[in-house]
Amino acid sequence: MLCPKCKTDQASRSHRRGPLEHAIAFFGFYPYRCRNCKARFVSLRPDTAAPASANRPGVEREIKATRSAMAVKRKRRELLLYATAVVLFLAFLYYVTRERTASFEGSLTPPPAFRSTDPAC
């Protein structure tokens, strides 16, 4: 933002003071203060649609590549976490629903292999 007094590019946004500055902020006018000459002025907010690094497309491309790589890593991590949870859940279901064999150590009837075929017993 150019300062209207000293014409340098040292102006930055300032805090709003009073109800008047709050009211005009509704219409897009914001307070600025020059770091060079300390002048305070109100101006329209510059267009934020154009990024500051628009003249450096390599930087934008690098940022986009980094963000997409981070997204891929995040998706891979989530997929691994969900797959592990599903495997553990299936193992739990198998353990709960498996057919249990009877333990013959404490039972009164002998195991089927040792039963006699004699009806008198």
pLDDT in tens, 26-72: 888 889 999 989 899 998 877 655 555 556 678 888 989 999 999 99
pTM over the 0.85 mark: no
Query: How would residue 118 be classed by pLDDT, with cut points 50, 70 and 90?
Result: low
CA pair distance 32, 14, nearest whole angstrom: 5
Q: How are the residues of the chain apportioned to helix, strand and coil, as percentages rounded to the nearest 5?
A: 45, 10, 45
Tokens 């002048």 belong to residue? 39
| pLDDT, tens digit (0-9, with 9 covering 90-100), for 90-116 | 999 999 998 877 655 655 665 565 556
Closest C-alpha to 104, from 96, 94, 114: 114
Strand stretches in the chain, DSSP E:
11-13, 29-34, 40-44
